[in-house]
Structure 1
Amino acid sequence: MVELGADRPLVVGHSYGGSVALAWAVQRPRNIAGLVTLAAASHPWQGDLPLFYRVTSSALGRAVAVPAIAALVPANTVNGMVEGVFAPQSEPEGYAAHFGPLMSASRKTLAANAQQRATLKDELAAMAPGYPALSLPVEVLHGDADTTVGLDIHSRPLSREVPGARLTVLPGVGHMPHHADPEAVVAVIGRAAARAGLR
């Protein structure tokens, strides 16, 4: 932000990026003009960390399991996971070729993702009490068919806890609203910019 010369930008974050954007707003409220979250993880959830992440985030897992997974995971398994993230919508034609999802199965990426996933719940639990103090314009957008980040666990509570936050729910939309309904996402960003006095 500093290098770009953006003193108070409008920040948009999707999924885990939405958690990062929320952290920006909570920790640096003077350096953000407005916030838009898209299917963002914002609150701790019930249940333990899945076994996969418990293994891959451990020291032994990083040394043994992560290299084995990176070497042996079939491409169709990774592509199937990408399709699952888009569900119930279809993955856009050519998305996998453009995105290169096998990069997500590299040792470095697997280890980093596991570490992020292992610490996220506690980080959100520590951050959530700061939401009521936010005074910037906040727009919250979430699909009601999202099975990756649940609407009722995350965006509904967030919109209640942040003063003046506005929640937009997209019926039948999964975890990738910017692909499923880009016009709605653009409209929400435009509304946040207007509320922040940027337009």
Structure 2
Amino acid sequence: MPSLHANTGMQQIVDFILELDKLKGVTRKVRPLGLDRYENSAEHSWQIAMLAASLAPFAEPAIDINRVIAMLLVHDIGEIDTGDTMVFAESGWDERKAAEQIAVERIFGVLPEPQSAMFLALWREFDEGKSAEARFAHAADRAMPVLLNLANNGQSWRENGISHERVVGRIGPPIQAGCPAMWKYLETRLEEARRQGWFGA
């Protein structure tokens, strides 16, 4: 018969997973292909985890791809409390990160140990962006909205007045640092998009 402690731990895990359901209600600025609505942060997290797994052959040889995927699955969980901020926003990042820190401590705190500490450590590793895994995760995170915009004729760039220079300046360095092959691919595609007028003024 399960112990009371085991039941308590199971309930904490269930409570955590149900809390994560709120991430499905956090709206982003890019539309899924072929749909009129905007994507949500849960969809984004799943898709970039799949992108990173697919890009594994282009990662540094010693990278732990499972750790990368875990980071990508937890990296936006704080948005349950803070909402999403478009990657091309030019101010307020320090305040946002402080708010996200409080949010993830609350949300991961629902879990028992050691899961709580493990997920929080993954979130912090991604946030600091220093390890090879974190750099690769950042590259996938930055690349996915670009790939959707390229497939959607620059939808969110045009809607939000985002220039080619702003896109390249914001996403170029982290993608180049984490996955140079992806940046080489995107650099050409972004120049083609600029020529086609897919950016805002």
* Bigger strand share: 1
Same fold flag (TM > 0.5): no
> TM-score when scaled to structure 2?
0.27
* Bigger helix share: 2
* Larger relative contact order (CA 8 Å, sep ≥ 6): 1
